């Protein structure tokens, strides 16, 4: 696959899944704008073809401004990977409004702002790919995941509908739904589950591993492979879909 001449945006591109996707796209020749809230983290990982920019996805004006700047420097965005997200869990009676809004603001509003501004640029071109990183929690429910699951279900519904907005055109919109992937989110989750349930960190991690039928965490590169595949011109017929990369969780 040759992505030379293509400008890609990967939010949350400085760590975990986003970084693996950014590296995969850059390895195929794309110029990749990677964003997050911490410039030091982004600068630390930026390799050839990767361009760091600070962008808080919860701030619609900042998203528009940073994307416009990236477009001015590297051309229209033709690959948008809306990956930035946070994963925190609380049971219903402990889900205060502030917590709910924080999860929605990042995972759902942030995805919307990113895709909207990218699409305004992509529409000036004759080819594009929008990929949103949802979650297996976007198609299931589980204890303590009310806000997170709602945000990730929302991503899937939004992306399906955006696909319909442009169906038959040269752009595709798909969601990827990972199970537990070995990234900083899982490390933080392990700590949180251990603190909430009183089990050891090892036991908390074992609970996540056990959900995977291969009895391991998924690697970020496995998710990146799917994102890269969606950028192949042969994938035009995969549109408005969800791809589960979840170790057999169905």
Catalytic residues: 148
Shortest Å, Cβ 69 to ligand NDP: 15
With respect to ligand NDP, which residue has the nearer C-beta, 151 or 166? Answer: 151
Residue 44 has a CB neighbour count (10 Å cut-off) of 11
Cα–Cα distance, 235 to 250 (Å, whole number): 23
218-234 exposure pattern, b = at least 16 Cβ within 10 A, e = fewer: bebebbbebbbebbeee
Q: Which of 156, 149, 140 has the alpha carbon at shortest distance from 91?
A: 149
Shortest Å, Cβ 116 to ligand NDP: 15
- Torsion angle, CA of 109/236/242/217, rounded to 10 degrees? -100
With respect to ligand NDP, which residue has the nearer C-beta, 18 or 128? Answer: 18
Shortest Å, Cβ 4 to ligand NDP: 26
Answer yes or no: are the C-beta atoms of 94 and 105 closer than 8 Å.
no
With respect to ligand NDP, which residue has the nearer C-beta, 3 or 22? Answer: 22
With respect to ligand NDP, which residue has the nearer C-beta, 129 or 244? Answer: 244
Q: Which residue ranges make up the site for ligand NDP (CB under 6 A)?
A: 11-12, 14-18, 36-38, 41, 55-58, 83-87, 106, 110, 133, 135, 178, 180-181, 183-186
Answer yes or no: are the C-beta atoms of 45 and 83 closer than 8 Å.
no
């Amino acid at each position: 696959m040759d992505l030379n001449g293509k400008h890609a945006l990967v939010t949350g591109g400085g760590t975990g899944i986003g970084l693996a996707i950014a590296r995969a796209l850059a390895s195929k020749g794309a110029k990749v704008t990677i964003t997050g809230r911490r410039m030091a983290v982004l600068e630390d990982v930026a390799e050839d073809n990767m361009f760091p920019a600070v962008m808080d996805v919860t701030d619609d004006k900042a998203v528009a401004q940073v994307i416009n700047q990236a477009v001015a420097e590297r051309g229209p965005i033709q690959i948008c990977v809306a990956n930035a997200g946070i994963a925190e869990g609380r049971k219903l009676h402990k889900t205060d409004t502030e917590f709910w809004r924080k999860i929605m603001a990042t995972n759902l509003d942030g995805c919307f702002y990113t895709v909207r501004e990218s699409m305004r640029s992509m529409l000036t071109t004759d080819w594009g790919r929008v990929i949103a990183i949802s979650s297996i929690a976007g198609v299931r429910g589980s204890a303590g995941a009310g806000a997170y699951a709602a945000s990730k279900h929302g991503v899937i519904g939004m992306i399906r509908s955006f696909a319909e907005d442009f169906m038959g055109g040269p752009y595709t919109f798909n969601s990827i739904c990972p199970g537990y992937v070995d990234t900083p989110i899982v490390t933080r989750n392990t700590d949180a589950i251990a603190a909430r349930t009183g089990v050891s960190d090892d036991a908390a991690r074992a609970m996540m591993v056990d959900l995977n039928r291969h009895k391991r965490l998924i690697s970020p590169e496995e998710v990146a492979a799917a994102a890269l595949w969606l950028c192949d011109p042969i994938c035009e017929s995969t549109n408005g879909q969800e791809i589960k990369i979840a170790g057999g969780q169905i």
